[in-house]
Amino acid sequence: MTMTTTLQWPLVSQNELDFDFLAFGMGHAGDFGLGLALARPERKTIVLKGDGGLLMCLGSLVTMGRYAPGNLLVLLMENRSYEMVGAQPLPPRADFTALARAAGFEGGGATGKGKVERITTLEAFEKALPRLLTEEGPHFAVVPITNKDPLPPVSHTDHAGRIRKLRKGLGLE
């Protein structure tokens, strides 16, 4: 997960397999998730990625459209802004679902079964989630979101420790 998500996710989950990507290279959470999914095909890799972050690395959609394995699920948190640094608006006409499709994600990935969708309500997300977690992908789902609560403060510092916690959770250290 990246940026704003990394501040809010710990409020609801503290699993050792959670991994925040706050300071790990701007825009590259999806790329890291792609590598992790390729390395661990027996597990589901879920990327919680912001739309602003995607704009920093749009080419990664094309790379995923070619290589993403069936166990990769990308949830694009679409708030149309750089929320964490002041909620400055994103380019208003960018269509992330269309971008993913045009990048070859739909019907693509390593399986040739890539799926792109837009999930617009919480009810629809709750209904879709079991399918997204079990069905062979890769999946790219755009999820429009809004947030009215103040963001928790940034407190992450131990980058090396967090990545090793994840490796430990995967049985590697």
Partner 1 sequence: MANGLISSVKEKELRKARGITTHRKESALSERGASAAKTLAAIKALGFTHVLMLPDGESRLLYQAIGDDPDIHLITPCREGESIAIAAGLWTGGRKPLIVIQNTGLMEAGDALRGCGMGPKVPLRLVVGWRGYGSAQAGRMPIDSAYTYTEPLLSAWGILYWRIMGDEDLPMLERMDRTAAETSLPAAVVTGYAFRP
Please give the residues from 10 up to 69 whose contact with partner 1 meets the rule CB under 8 A.
Answer: 19, 23-29, 31-40, 57, 59-60, 62-63, 66-67
Compute the least distance from the CB of residue 127 to partner 1, in Å.
30
Closer residue to partner 1 (CB): 4 or 60: 60
Residues 6+ apart with CB under 8 A from 130: none
State the Cα–Cα distance between residues 73 and 138, nearest whole angstrom.
6
Q: By rule CB under 8 A, what string of x and - marks binding of each residue 66-85 to partner 1?
A: xx------------------
- Positions touching partner 1 (CB under 8 A) are 19, 23-29, 31-40, 57, 59-60, 62-63, 66-67, 159-160, 162-163, 166-167, 170, 172
